[in-house]
Structure 1
Amino acid sequence: MATVDETENDNKMFGPLLFETSKPPNSPETESEVTCLLCDDTFNLALSFDIFVRHLFEVHYLVIEEVQNIANLPRYVQYWRDKFKEAPIEEIIPAIKIDSSNQTYFLLSTLLKEDKELRHKLKLEHVLEVQEFERTDGGYKRLCLFCKLNFEGTRADFVAHLESQHNLQLGNPQNLVFIEDLVEKIDDNLGKLICIYCSRVFPERNVLKEHMRKKLHKRINPRNTDYDKYFIVNYLEPEKLSKKVQKHDDVPQDDPNNDEEYYDWNEKDDFIICLFCEKRDTNINTLCLHMEADHDFDFVDLTKNFDFYQKVKFVNYVRRQMHNNKCFYCDLSCKSSENLQEHLFEEQHCKIPDLKVFDQPEFYFPTYENDALLYLIDDVED
């Protein structure tokens, strides 16, 4: 299985090393021998695709719309070959004239309902085959995008590693397809210093890294149609858009014209406020020591089994409860912040409540957008 150097390579944020990987079985390119729709001539699509297309046009006056994009073209061809045996092409496809020669041509396109449904069916079947292959293939090998891990296993496990160890959220592996291609796309963007969420280009990787962490941009933008092909739901219905997947309309949009942002991504004087009092510090580790000494709350130890997003939700939940003068452990309402502090001390309620209390979608996005603790959670040293 995987071997990993525990020390993350800070000077090499993005790993360039690639490995050979398996390809899905029975993919369209492996079924390249076809017989013409309207005669008995055969063609090897891998070697003579252009000849096949020219043959259809010049010999049979047939044009197939976007033929290069059809999934499993051999099965598509066989389907229409069988149909044309049942009835003449003139009865199935409307004839058109495109010049003054009186020659009629035939167009197979998605304007024909049967053709549209066939293309969709073949595409969906192919995508599901690829997804099933990706789920079961344990021979995927790749260097992690962020650390020295030489990963070997399933693609889903690699996505889980990126999320659990590096807080990079690509989506639920059960909803993803063409994962290998997605990872390469992410790696290419990071190598070009492009934020994968807002697509901005940065002058150096440290600035990009700080931006993606502070802006919570270590995830795919559901509005970016460049990522449509990687979500299985987009293939369930024709022309389904990925904006229906993982859609968060309440995600604050960055102002691309805000030049001041360039100067605050690397600020070192952001104050981090204690979860339970007004104590503030610029170093999260110092603040964690304060919470342990003054509030008997060991943040590192108590949240060690949480993933990044559960930590974010917990912080947001505590912030909201403290703001409303409510105990975050027992939900008791207090008259003032002073009464709340007394209650927390006397009842020793500076401890984590049941996970289901705060592990809710409503607590994922920051209640206080400038809460520095949220941006620095993944910097706490064990």
Structure 2
Amino acid sequence: LSSLESMQPTCLQSKLIIIIFILILDTECILEPLSLPESPGGVDAVESSPYVPCIFCKECYVLAEQNQLLKHMIIEHKLVIADVKLVADFRSYILYWKRRFAEQPVTDFCSVIRTNSKAPLEEQDNYFLLCDVLPEDRLLREQLQQKRLREILEQQQQERYDTSFHSMCMFCDQEFTGNRSVLLNHMAREHAFNIGLPDNIVNCYEFLAVLQGKLDNLQCLYCEKVFRDKNTLKDHMRKKQHRRINAKNKEYDKFYIINYLEFGKSWEEVQSEDDRELLDNLEEDWSDWEEHPVCAVCLFCEQQADTTEKLYLHMQKSHGFHFPKIKSEHGLNFYQQVKLVNFIRREIHHCRCYNCQEKFESKGGLISHMEETKHIAFLPARSTWDQPQYYFPTYENDILLCTLSDSEDAKAEDQSEEVPVVGEDISSLKALKQSSVLNQLLWKENKSQEKF
């Protein structure tokens, strides 16, 4: 450092340039931190490869030949995996259990099935069944299913809004660019070839490639028969109305969103479900419902009651305010009762007597004044409280407003009960016609017409 300090600035810069140049030439120089792989045993390398390892040994098979791997594990290791078709990601499933079996014995996870149980001991075999009865296995399958569903939905979303789509029609060689829906709608409209709504399809490029490959191999898309030339194939598909795909061909299931929605169910199983059970479940039994009583609050204090009768009785005995009597004397209908309640609520809230308009510092002082002067029992002039502004509640949760009844309706009901209805005597129709009130109405109508 002392030697560097004694150098001139230009000399120091030259030294730094030389040091940097040496570092650049030194290819073994570590300029960034390193990290060890987090997954032991090189699992990442196996996951990125197209091979699937055996759970117990070092044998590996191509993913497309998973049946060979299953056969190997049954014969060599006596392991049976149930419902393999319901495993969304076979490679991840195998890698998971390979790690778990290395940690614990197989019998901790699998059911043991003994074959030839009546044979001698040396002829008996124990097979191990790995299935979703084990909670850990079922959870793994569901997680893999959810992961695949997320990936499929992301892929579908990307395809729905993709504008870089480019492909040719399989029937007329017309070229289409933009969105996939343009081509699919064209084939459905012009060639009566409908493979479904564009929004229900995923991995459209691969789907079209599979269909194009079948046509290139002179194979019918529906009955899958092979023909000698292209013209014969076209005539066959047109005459037999085979311009459609075979819905029972499982090869196409992976191109439709519906096959990813429910764990372990194909589109046929989803559509065959009886929805009436869901509708029946909507009619639930409410017999055990316990409704909490809703209480209305007194106009003048904090007292609450679960019925209007109890509340009216309290206001009459404690405050001298007889609400039913006031309603009857003034002939208040429902809307006038609403205005009156909101008016009283607002005046009490402002600690102001609604008769003499005297204002108090506290609500207790106001109530004492109104009870002593009997101002509480009488209403002010109707023009004071019968105003449109009191249609709006003073308190938004005022239950008393919901329990008010219309006195006019009650009167109408009483009157309808008191008026008897007597049926006409139809024993003599001639006499009935002569005495009917309709004769008078007809006579008046004819009289008025004669004037004109």
Pick the structure with more helix per residue. Answer: 2
Q: Give the TM bin, normalised by the shorter chain.
A: 0.3 to 0.5
TM value normalised by structure 1: 0.40
Higher relative contact order (CA 8 A, sep 6+): 1
